Each structure stands twice: as structure tokens, then as C-alpha cells.
Chain A
Amino acid sequence: MAFDVLIVDDSPAMRAFIERVIDISGLDVGKRLEASNGQEALDLLHRHWIDIILTDVNMPVMNGEQFVARLAEDEVLRSIPVLVVSTDGSEHRVHRMMSLGARAYVKKPFSPEQLRKTMEQLLGVEVEQ
């Protein structure tokens, strides 16, 4: 079964990097959607079903905290696993995002292997390397 992925980050370079990591991960990925902030992501989520969300924290318009909080308020969207990918690795921020409903947190810099393993755990799959 192919997994559909949504990448939420205001940096086009970071979105491209994550997409590349996913491409080489061996995960069976279907649609890859991108948004540059939480509001754009919510708009996409109302039109497409997504299996996993990877989101940054510091973004304009709607930041990662506000986005994850909005997902948690929605009876349907709250079931989608959220993986936070951020440069902000402070204990305060990690605790805050996890308490809002994020399922995992990957701090930048990270290796492609680290991101793949975390996605595997969230999706409940294992890719043979």
C-alpha cells in the first residue's frame, strides 16, 4: 500500500530535501503534497487524504504549534500521525509539540536514515535495506 505524504515547511529547499530523502528511503510512497505553512496544509487536508504529515515549527501565517493544535481539534484529521522536523530542538519546544499531539520529533540536522526510521515507526512498516 502506498502512503501519501504531506510536507509542511516554509523553506522550499527543506521541502525538496525531505522529498528526496523519502524518495530514496525505500518506503512505498504515493502522493507527495507540499505546503509552506499550517494554513495551506489545512486547506490541502480538506481536499486530500494523507497518511503522514511532516511539519516544521517556525513558519509564517500559521506556525507548527498552531497547525498541530488545529489538527488535534478535528475528529478526522487528529488520526493522521504528525512528525515534527525542526531546527528548534529545545526541551521546551519538543515537550510542547508532543503535548499538542505530534507523534515524533526529529531535530535538524538529521541523517536520511534517522528520518526514514522515524517514518517507518509512525507508519508501522519496515523497509528492507
Chain B
Amino acid sequence: MIESSVVHDLLQESMQTALETMFFAAPDTVSMDPRRPAGALITARLAFRGTPDGWSWLVVSDALARTLAANFLGCEDDALLLASSVIDVMMELANIMCGAVLSRMESGVNFDIGPPESHPVRADEAGPDFAAGSACSCRFEFPEGALIGFLAFQEAV
């Protein structure tokens, strides 16, 4: 059984490293606040099989998703980005986040990570309950909005 505090630390470290090294972005604050960010969102969900099975959500404010995608792709004007490109980049970030946590959590175990699925959530739409059943969450606040990573396992940690 894995301590949830260990998973949280791995989630925070993995997300922060990804944001700094591949998205060239440093958050203003980091917390465990799982509340939905205000406004429209881009979400990405993926499931993994291993010991144990589980799933991961990435929830990002729409404006922040555009900024991060522009940084990742080297696009100087995020207004030029296609919505599909922003979604592709957020799915890749979800994949990186989940893979990095699982690899560090159980380096001797083979996990299979499924393909990410993404869909936008309008500002006036309730959207899925991202935090339901999550073992842990990690929230990064930026001037453009918030990014939250959730990780859950089918057996309690």
C-alpha cells in the first residue's frame, strides 16, 4: 500500500518538473486545493493498468492551457493556435504527468497507460466531478488561471 502523501509529493514534483522543463512556466503558488478553476476548462483523462489500476485527470483553465500550449510549441502568439493543438498539448501533459508519477512510484512494476481523452468544459457547464475518488490532487496557480492534476487508484492508498 502506498501512502497518499508519497503520491502527492510525486505528483507535485513530476508536474512541476514538466511545467518548468517542457512548458517553460513557473507557478505563483502550489496547493492541494481540488476545487474547480473558474471559467472555461480544458480537461484530459487517462486510465492506466498496473498494480493497482487507476486513472488521472488534468484540469486546466482555458486561458492557461493556451499559454502553456504556446510555450510548448514555440508559438509566439497563442491566438494563432488551433483549439485542437491546445487539446493535443494538454493530453500530452496529462500523459507526461501520469507516466512520471507511476514510473517513480513503482519503478519495478510495468504500467500500461491508455490513450488520453480530452474535452472542453464551458464556463457555465458543471462538467465531471474530477475529484471524486482521487487519492490526491495538486493545484498550480498562474496569472492566467489554474492547473490541477488528480490521480486515483482503484484500491485505496
Contacts and interface: CB of A to CB of B under 8 A. Distances in A.
Interface of A: 10-14, 16-17, 20, 58, 60, 86-93, 107-112, 114
B99 interface: yes
A92 B109 contact: yes
Contact of A109 (B14, B89, B91): B14
Nearest to A9: B92
Interface of B: 14, 17-18, 21-22, 69, 72-74, 85, 88-89, 91-92, 95-96, 98-100, 102-104, 106-113, 115
B92 A11 contact: yes
A91 B40 CA distance: 39
B18 A108 contact: yes
Given A89-B107, A90-B106, A90-B107, 9 more contacts: A10-B115, A11-B92, A17-B22, A58-B113, A87-B96, A88-B111, A89-B99, A89-B103, A109-B96
Nearest to A109: B18
Contacts of A12: 85, 88
A110 B112 CA distance: 20
Most buried by A among B95, B98, B100: B95
Nearest to B24: A112
6 contacts: A10-B115, A11-B91, A87-B95, A88-B102, A90-B106, A90-B108
Given A11-B92, A13-B85, A108 B73 contact: no
Contacts of B99: 86-89, 108
A108 B107 contact: no
A95 to B, nearest CB: 10
A90 B100 contact: no
Nearest to A20: B74
Contact of B108 (A17, A92, A114): A92
Given A11-B91, A11-B92, A110-B22, A20 B100 contact: no
